[in-house]
Amino acid sequence: MLDIGQIAGQLKSAAAGQTQSASGDGNGVPFSGMIKAMVEQTSALDQKASKAVAGVLNGQGVEIHDAMIATQKASVGFELALQVRNKAVAAYEQMMNMQF
């Protein structure tokens, strides 16, 4: 499973790949594939955090600090996904406002 740093690195490399593919060079990963992978990773982090919290509440031997770390990772992952979404929406709105 990828962590937040790896997802951010993939987004940066995809952005670099998009500029290269616009000029005809390179094999860039499709942006939609990157978004799909990011959503899947965010969902996986959320599920892991939910299981950790349930383990703490049910007394299944999960340490509270592990649950807190999993919860924070899920929170940071969600914030990253939200910011990428906000940037994509802003870029779309900016393109829609362009006049030719």
Domain spans in the chain, listed from the N-terminal domain onward: 4-96
CA dihedral for 56, 59, 60, 65, sign (positive or negative)? positive
Query: What single-letter amino acid sits at 83?
Result: Q
Query: What single-letter amino acid sits at 80?
Result: L
Residues 6+ apart with CB under 8 A from 66: 52
Measured CA to CA, the distance from residue 52 to residue 45 in angstroms comes to 11
pLDDT at 44 over 80: yes
pLDDT digits (tens, 9 = 90+) for 55-93: 999 998 889 999 999 999 999 999 999 999 999 999 999
